[in-house]
């Protein structure tokens, strides 16, 4: 068996931080839709070659020899390189001992990297054991990210067990973030079971709205039209337009054109569509501002179009302030909110002060030009 630590060391990165509201739109790749697994007993699940190989390795390795080799190496860089080549076998044989050794080493980015990979492997074989260890031994951002990693791994094999176990733990933002990740990952593979779980537990502390968003977001990654339809129904029932908006946004990160057209074809003007267009405007700004400017005329004139136009321009200016500013001046400034113009001006001043001066001076008299007058180009400070 090839050691996975050599193959994937450095490739596994956890970008999550406290609170996972932002993670939803970050998961752009839809997981493969597999046969529902969450309700299967271990005997019903197909055998796992990796797990079987790990068990075979467990029979062969000498943990004492591994520890002796590591402790004999004085150079920490070489020691961690050696640990990466031994860690998979050690985790398979005695995960808590291997993790304890890692925690005894000086904190560093290298240690954190190996720890994440080790916990990922531990969670493959024993997610509850991995979660227990993390709760007892980590804290802060390391605890948060590790719990989310384990939660996702566990949810892919048994979402119900994962949700039940985590919800029995003391409430806190790290635990809540893990539960949110469970519902996202579970719904990505088995949306019916995940959504039914929430229906059967309608008052999960104060997490229900957040978990509904997570489940619908995960569902949108595998069955976007079904998720959008259900999200629209749930939004209207709960009078929560944002529930639909974030659902459609997750579809849009994968297929912006299809999701935008579905919105126009299936959702009449109103709060749900307004929420969705605000998300779409940001995604157009990130993926294709030119396509976004062609999309705007298809929206309902008034608040819907004007709000989307302002968000598109302001978000666009974060990456290309000059192009966004030029486009903004071709529009009726009444369509763009003062907040949007201020954002454009701020980003333009930061990236191209000279163009900011000429652009702001050329604006017609009015609130937008007055707002720009409040900015002082850096050269004026000298």
Nearest partner of 110 among 136, 139, 88, 81, judged by Cα:
81
Q: What angle do CA 73, 76, 77 make, to 5 degrees?
A: 110
Nearest partner of 98 among 128, 70, 136, judged by Cα:
70
Reported as a pLDDT band with limits 50, 70 and 90, residue 259 is: very high
Lowest mean pLDDT among 145-154, 298-307, 359-368: 359-368
Measured CA to CA, the distance from residue 305 to residue 262 in angstroms comes to 17
Say what the pLDDT of residue 88 is. 87
Say what the pLDDT of residue 105 is. 85
Show the DSSP H helices in 106-223 as ranges: 109-125, 127-137, 140-167, 173-189, 191-200, 208-222
CB-CB contact of 49 with 180 (8 Å): no
pTM comes to: 0.72
Lowest mean pLDDT among 92-101, 270-279, 294-303: 92-101
Reported as a pLDDT band with limits 50, 70 and 90, residue 265 is: very high
Say what the pLDDT of residue 70 is. 80
Instruction: Look up residue 382 and give its DSSP letter.
Output: -
- The stretch 137-153 carries a mean pLDDT of 94
pLDDT at 376 over 70: no
Nearest partner of 219 among 253, 184, 254, 193, judged by Cα:
184
Q: Give how far Cα 280 sits from Cα of 135, 212, 226, 251, 286, Å.
A: 38, 20, 18, 10, 10
Say what the pLDDT of residue 33 is. 30
Crossing angle of the two packed helices 303-319 and 321-329, in degrees rounded to 10: 150
Measured CA to CA, the distance from residue 186 to residue 254 in angstroms comes to 19
Measured CA to CA, the distance from residue 301 to residue 366 in angstroms comes to 22
């Amino acid at each position: 068996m090839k050691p996975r630590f050599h193959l994937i060391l450095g490739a596994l990165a956890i970008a999550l931080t406290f609170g996972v509201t932002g993670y939803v739109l970050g998961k752009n790749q839809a997981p493969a839709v597999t046969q529902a697994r969450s309700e299967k007993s271990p005997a019903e699940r197909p055998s796992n070659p990796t797990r079987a190989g790990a068990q075979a390795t467990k029979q062969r390795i000498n943990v004492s020899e591994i520890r002796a080799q590591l402790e004999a190496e004085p150079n920490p860089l070489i020691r961690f390189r050696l640990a990466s080549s031994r860690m998979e076998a050690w985790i398979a044989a005695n995960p808590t001992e291997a993790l304890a050794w890692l925690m005894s080493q000086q904190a560093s980015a290298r240690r954190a990297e190996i720890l994440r990979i080790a916990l990922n492997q531990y969670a493959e074989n024993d997610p509850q054991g991995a979660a227990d260890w993390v709760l007892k031994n980590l804290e802060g951002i390391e605890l948060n990210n590790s719990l989310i990693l384990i939660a996702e791994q566990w949810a892919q094999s048994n979402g119900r067990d994962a949700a039940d176990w985590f919800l029995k733990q003391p409430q806190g933002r790290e635990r809540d973030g893990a539960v949110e990740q469970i519902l996202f990952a579970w719904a990505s593979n088995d949306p019916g079971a995940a959504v039914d779980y929430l229906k059967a537990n309608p008052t999960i502390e104060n997490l229900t709205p957040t978990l509904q968003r997570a489940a619908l977001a995960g569902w949108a990654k595998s069955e976007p039209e079904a998720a959008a339809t259900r999200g629209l129904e749930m939004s209207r029932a709960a009078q929560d337009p944002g529930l639909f908006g974030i659902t459609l946004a997750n579809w849009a990160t994968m297929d912006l054109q299809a999701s935008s057209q579905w919105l126009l074809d299936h959702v009449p003007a109103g709060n749900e569509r307004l929420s969705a267009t605000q998300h779409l405007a940001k995604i157009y700004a990130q993926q294709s501002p030119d396509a976004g400017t062609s999309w705007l005329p298809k929206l309902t004139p008034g608040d819907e179009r004007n709000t989307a136009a302002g968000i598109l321009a302001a978000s666009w200016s974060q990456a290309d302030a000059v192009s966004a500013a030029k486009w903004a001046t071709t529009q009726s400034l009444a369509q763009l909110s003062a907040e949007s113009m201020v954002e454009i001006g701020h980003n333009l001043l930061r990236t191209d002060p000279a163009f900011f001066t000429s652009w702001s001076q050329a604006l017609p008299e009015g609130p937008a030009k007055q707002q720009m007058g409040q900015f002082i180009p850096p050269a004026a400070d000298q």
